[in-house]
């Protein structure tokens, strides 16, 4: 399979998905996706997108938390 953006090779692999939701960054790890090896574009199957939505909207307790430095652009 080839990437529609850059024509690079696309492979199935696990990736991370991040989203800013209600003022907080959420990260979902080990998400199955098709990823372009050239530009990094990620393609998610409809079932995966639905599962991601349920995870984000569920407001369940996260499996772990990380501290992330934040900088303002000068």
Q: What does the angle CA 72 – CA 30 – CA 63 come to, to the nearest 5 degrees?
A: 75
pLDDT per residue of the chain (74 residues) written in tens, 0 to 9 = 999 999 999 999 999 999 999 998 999 999 999 999 999 999 999 999 999 999 999 988 999 999 989 899 98
As beta bridge partners, residue 26 has 19
Residue 4, sorted as left (phi over 0), alpha (psi -120 to 50) or beta, turns out to be: alpha
| Domains of the chain in sequence order | 10-58 (3.10.20.860)
Q: What is the pTM assigned to this prediction?
A: 0.83
Neighbours of 17 (CB within 10 A): 18
Residue written as token pair 């003022």 = 23
């Amino acid at each position: 399979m080839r990437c529609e953006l850059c024509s690079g090779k696309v492979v199935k692999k696990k990736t991370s998905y991040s989203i800013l939701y209600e003022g907080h960054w959420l990260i979902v790890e080990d998400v199955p996706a098709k990823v372009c090896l050239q530009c990094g574009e990620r393609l998610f199957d409809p079932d995966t997108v639905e599962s991601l939505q349920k995870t984000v909207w569920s407001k369940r307790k996260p499996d772990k938390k990380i501290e992330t430095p934040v900088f303002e652009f000068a």
